[in-house]
Amino acid sequence: MPITVGHDSSKTRKTLSAGGESVAYYSIPAAEAAGLGDFSRLPAALKVVLENMLRFEDGKTVTTDDIRAFAEWAEKGGKNPREIAYRPARVLMQDFTGVPAVVDLAAMRDGIVALGGDAQKINPLNPVDLVIDHSVMIDEFGNPRAFQMNVDREYERNLERYTFLKWGQKAFNNFRVVPPGTGICHQVNLEYLAQAVWTDTDQNGEEVAYPDTLVGTDSHTTMVNGLAVLGWGVGGIEAEAAMLGQPISMLIPEVVGFKLTGKMKEGTTATDLVLKVVQMLREKGVVSKFVEFYGDGLDTVPLADRATIGNMAPEYGATCGFFPIDDETLRYLEQTGRSKERIALVEAYAKEQGMWRGPGYEPVYTDTLELDMGDVVPAISGPKRPQDHIALDAAAKEFHAYIEGQRSAQDATPKEEVRWEGEGGQPEPTDIPGDEGHHKRGYVATKDGHYQMHDGSIVIASITSCTNTSNPYVMIGAGLVARKARELGLNRKPWVKTSLAPGSQVVSAYLEAAGLQEDLDAIGFNLVGYGCTTCIGNSGPLEPAISKCINDNDLIAVSVLSGNRNFEGRISPDVRANYLASPPLVVAYSLVGDMNVDITTEPLGTDKEGNPVYLKDIWPSQAEIAELVERTVTREAFQSKYADVFKGDDKWRTVETTDSETYDWPPTSTYVQNPPYFQNMGKEPGTISDVKDARILALLGDMVTTDHISPAGSFKESTPAGQYLTERQVAPREFNSYGSRRGNHEVMMRGTFANIRIRNEMLDGVEGGYTKGPDGSQMPIYDAAMAYQAEGTPLVVIAGEQYGAGSSRDWAAKGTALLGVKAVIAENFERIHRSNLVGMGVIPFEFTGGDTRSSLGLTGEESVSISGLEGDLKPGAMVPCTITFADGTTKDITIKCRIDTAIEKEYIEHGGVLHYVLRNLAAA
């Protein structure tokens, strides 16, 4: 399907020759020559957005004033928050967020037919790639059978979903599916799908070159920014609108320049660098801003390291973390198998458009900060947030302080201890390093032996996530740590669940070529699957005896993973402290099995002669790593592994589906159901109404993430979602996860605000998804919401700072809307979740004037009325809010409406962005 550009203006449309071919393009220098402004000092990231304006300028959606605004941005020192309409080149999805997106498209086809329209109008206009990577769980680990057994179990659990996705691939144009077992969407995007500069035929039949841009239904879409591809995460709702030709409404962003100087020291890794960057940028405050990396230090930062930094942009709060095109970009394109012609085009285009990073590159930025990479030290982050950076030599001490904080108000005496079977009585407790009497302990017997467990026992050590497994330097480093440990006779501790889940098959190719997979296998890091696994909570169950010991003794167990997120309740329901670390450190921590041990000074274990082995004894040098990377990470490996990327294995090829324009919804499916969004929808939009006498569904604190609002992991039989499935004869073993059931709104409504660690401040000391119902009694949030809906009572949610941080989960907004929540009032919002709320017709508001839930003394017993919404509501308007307390007294405050743009107001009037698009398509 050809792209439709806004115009054929001879002022900016030029021709470029590269790689023996000529293509049209929209020239930034030509726009300057035409008197549209001086764009020479714009950051490369912003020039990508500017090019988008040039290409789609039509005098209506995009005007010459929009283009001139970019020159004004530079004149005003990096600020000009003008609303613009931006159109990304393509859309990337993963299956957890992709399935509900395809469900919505299928429902929209039903909806447009009901409105008298043509079902074929519901088709992606931009290329869409969906990579199935979120479904594999680590049920089996630590043995050669693990990979195949996990794949078999994945298909058993998810056949309904895969059948539906195969239908979607047939039914929709411009929609491709990368089958299970290929890799993680962001790594597949980086290594294969992304082109840096894209080409396509326009409506006139002429080939046009333009920057490769995208939005993705996963917040870590930003990983591809390392390849100078501008992309960021959006909710599935916003992505669906973009697929259907709706431009993304955004403000011209501020761009923070992050200058890198110096060079990384021996013994440090890209993970250490990115954890420091996350800490610095969180402290700086870059929410809703672009971050662009520059400086001479980039000359020594390989693209794999850049991708790691770009990947973590959601963790530092930015829209994206962008790296301009330079010689390293070209080297990576060559190494990963891109064509010579494409590489020549990328170089010529970037230099012609002023997007090339050469010596002295230092454009205008809104603000800057700087890091000498020589100051970076080995580090981890945790136990609950990615930005909580801890130098490795302080990790044990910090953990002791964390335990003391957790236990100081509790009785440190354990509950009933778990005794093992066999001769002899309960053993004497063994010492816990650094314990000052606060640690709890228990005893357990498993097939691997019997041992003491205590606060700090590491029960999960996982090499996981595209964040680090895309980086051959840290992966080869992990393999070398395993080799040296194996040679000395060290092994993982028996209570540690170890796993290796690469982000692509290329990783296995080079680990095997280097002979390192055998070493990893020897200490328990067998291949468990190609997917996100532990990083998204698919860590699988712990051994039952270990889980029982943790829960019976209220132990604070630990996970160490090479992922990007460590929020509460995310990794495993049995684990309360989670640490992010480089893959080599994940291996090292598996050998010691205890977070209380200072691995920088204390032995990891003993060798075959009984001598102590320290971290320095098994840590590889940068030269060792570089030599193996150079020898084993080859262009041929990438070309081979991606040759048949869309074909899949025998299991995928045997999945059968139907050919039909609309989906025949299986009435008994517990995975895929027709959502209620478009049922009984009229042809005309409504109006925005004031919120009157709403009750508070949840009163939440700071840093409530989308993991808290819409968890992705496992759930129990006793939960509303578990009860729903049990009533439909689904056995607990087949529950799968919330994430895998996002195609069923009945499950997801029941899972909203259901994280096991969420704390509703309306209740005293209670964890989990509970609130007070209309009668004042404690009950699950879903049950209370349904009771309020039966009464016709609107609901609001009150929260603190950084509400909605984390993953770009559209169900965090969808579930909120379906529970009957009309408004969310928070101190501030993370970018994606705010947008998702608007996309679902829920209005976000922010406290002003220093007001907070705490300063107002809110308990959840109050009712809330918000006026000033009817009539001519302006984006960003200040509106009155009246809080009525339980004793009848009232307080009037002013809150800011976070409907940020005019088009967002229209979305709210229509009931959501999909309703807006559907009505427009039906009327066309």
Say how far apart CA 769 and CA 355 lie, in whole Å: 48
Residue 486 lies in a domain: yes
Q: Edge-to-edge strands of the sheet including 175-178?
A: 175-178, 128-131, 90-94, 213-216, 230-233
Work out the pLDDT band at 427, boundaries 50, 70, 90: low
Closest-CA residue to 615 (of 582, 594, 587): 587
Say how far apart CA 42 and CA 54 lie, in whole Å: 15
Q: In this structure, what DSSP letter does residue 668 have? A: T
Residue 359 lies in a domain: yes
Residue 673 lies in a domain: no
Closest-CA residue to 919 (of 906, 905, 900): 906
H or E element that contains 756: none
Choose one of 358, 375, 392: the last residue of a domain.
375
Work out the pLDDT band at 411, boundaries 50, 70, 90: low
Work out the pLDDT band at 409, boundaries 50, 70, 90: low
Cα dihedral angle (629, 634, 639, 642), rounded to 10 degrees? -10
- Please answer whether residues 565 and 707 qualify as being in contact, where contact means their C-beta atoms are separated by less than 8 angstroms: yes
Give burial (CB, 10 Å; 0-12/13-18/19+) of 792. Answer: exposed
Say how far apart CA 778 and CA 708 lie, in whole Å: 19
The residues with which 202 forms a beta bridge, in sequence order, are 3
Closest-CA residue to 420 (of 355, 472, 495): 495
Tokens encoding 214: 């995208």
Residues present in the chain in total: 924
The helix-helix angle for 95-114 and 810-818 (nearest 10°) equals 50
Residue 916 lies in a domain: yes
As for how many domains the chain has, the answer is 3
Closest-CA residue to 463 (of 560, 388, 598): 560
The CATH number assigned to the domain holding 790 equals 3.20.19.10
Say how far apart CA 123 and CA 170 lie, in whole Å: 11
The residue with tokens 């578990």 is 722
Residues 371 and 407 in one domain: no
Radius of gyration of the chain (CA): 27
SS3 571: coil
Residues 612 and 708 in one domain: no
The residues with which 216 forms a beta bridge, in sequence order, are 92, 233
Closest-CA residue to 629 (of 451, 761, 506, 487): 506
Residue 363 lies in a domain: yes
Closest-CA residue to 303 (of 459, 470, 438): 470
Say how far apart CA 541 and CA 714 lie, in whole Å: 9
CA distances (Å), origin 918, targets 3, 111, 779, 860: 21, 8, 37, 37
Each residue's pLDDT tens digit, 7-48: 656 689 999 999 889 999 999 999 999 999 999 999 999 999
Q: In this structure, what DSSP letter does residue 632 have? A: H
Residues 360 and 400 in one domain: no
Residues 6+ apart with CB under 8 A from 126: 87, 88, 89, 90, 91, 174, 242, 243, 245
Residues 714 and 838 in one domain: yes
- Counting Cα atoms < 13 Å in the Cβ hemisphere of 18 gives 24
pLDDT at 407 over 60: yes
The residue with tokens 């613009």 is 84
Each residue's pLDDT tens digit, 658-706: 889 999 999 999 999 999 998 888 889 989 999 999 999 999 999 999 9
Each residue's pLDDT tens digit, 576-613: 999 999 999 999 999 999 999 999 999 999 999 999 99
Residues 444 and 322 in one domain: no
Residues 604 and 717 in one domain: no
The residues with which 183 forms a beta bridge, in sequence order, are 504
Residue 85 lies in a domain: no
pLDDT at 807 over 90: no
Residue 15 lies in a domain: no
Percentage of the residues of the chain whose pLDDT score is greater than 70: 97
Say how far apart CA 325 and CA 330 lie, in whole Å: 8
Say how far apart CA 725 and CA 718 lie, in whole Å: 11
3-state helix/strand/coil string of 277-325:
HHHHHHHHCCCCCEEEEECHHHHHCCHHHHHHHHHCHHHHCCCEEECCE
Q: Looking at residues 885-908, what average pLDDT do you find?
A: 95
Least confident of 56-60, 476-480, 565-569: 565-569
Residues 383 and 271 in one domain: no
Say how far apart CA 448 and CA 573 lie, in whole Å: 22
Choose one of 613, 633, 653: the last residue of a domain.
633
Average pLDDT, the chain: 93
Residues 412 and 554 in one domain: yes
Residue 418, pLDDT score: 54
Closest-CA residue to 789 (of 914, 694, 710, 864): 694
Least confident of 7-16, 98-107, 359-368: 7-16
Say how far apart CA 186 and CA 904 lie, in whole Å: 29
Please state whether beta strands 389-391 and 379-381 pair in parallel, antiparallel, or not at all (unpaired): antiparallel
Q: Looking at residues 92-113, what average pLDDT do you find?
A: 91
Say how far apart CA 519 and CA 507 lie, in whole Å: 15
The residue with tokens 């039509």 is 58
The helix-helix angle for 472-488 and 583-592 (nearest 10°) equals 30
Q: How far is CA 71 from the centre of its chain?
A: 33
Residue 201 belongs to what domain range? 90-375
Say how far apart CA 700 and CA 73 lie, in whole Å: 37
The residue with tokens 């088709």 is 123
pLDDT at 325 over 70: yes
Tokens encoding 824: 């969310």
Say how far apart CA 452 and CA 440 lie, in whole Å: 11
Residue 740 lies in a domain: yes
Angle at 839 between CA 837 and CA 842, to 5 degrees: 40
Residues 427 and 558 in one domain: yes
Q: Looking at residues 536-548, what average pLDDT do you find?
A: 91
Residues 272 and 402 in one domain: no
Note if the bond before 383 is cis, omega within 30 degrees: yes
Q: For 15-79, give the DSSP string.
A: EEEETTEEEEEE-HHHHHHTTS---TTS-HHHHHHHHHHHHH--SSSS-HHHHHHHHHHHHTTS-
| Identity of residue 570 | R
Residues 350 and 421 in one domain: no
| Identity of residue 610 | G
pLDDT at 249 over 90: no
- Please answer whether residues 186 and 311 qualify as being in contact, where contact means their C-beta atoms are separated by less than 8 angstroms: yes
Tokens encoding 549: 């010991």
Say how far apart CA 865 and CA 844 lie, in whole Å: 14
Say how far apart CA 381 and CA 733 lie, in whole Å: 33
Tokens encoding 644: 């048949």
pLDDT at 417 over 80: no
Q: What are phi and psi of 538, to 5 degrees?
A: -90, 45
Q: Looking at residues 854-880, what average pLDDT do you find?
A: 96
Each residue's pLDDT tens digit, 869-893: 998 999 999 999 999 999 999 999 9
Choose one of 616, 633, 650: the last residue of a domain.
633
The CATH number assigned to the domain holding 128 equals 3.30.499.10
Residue 421, pLDDT score: 47
Angle at 410 between CA 405 and CA 416, to 5 degrees: 125
Each residue's pLDDT tens digit, 769-803: 999 999 999 999 999 999 999 999 999 999 999 99
Say how far apart CA 224 and CA 90 lie, in whole Å: 13
Say how far apart CA 582 and CA 604 lie, in whole Å: 17
Residues 283 and 396 in one domain: no
Residue 187, pLDDT score: 96
Angle at 586 between CA 582 and CA 591, to 5 degrees: 150
pLDDT at 806 over 50: yes
Other Cβ atoms less than 10 A from the Cβ of 285: the count is 12
Q: Which stretches of 580-700 are DSSP H helices?
A: 583-592, 615-618, 622-632, 635-641, 650-653
Residue 679, pLDDT score: 84
Residues 6+ apart with CB under 8 A from 553: 414, 415, 416, 417, 418, 440, 441, 442, 453
Tokens encoding 490: 């060290």
The helix-helix angle for 472-488 and 270-284 (nearest 10°) equals 130
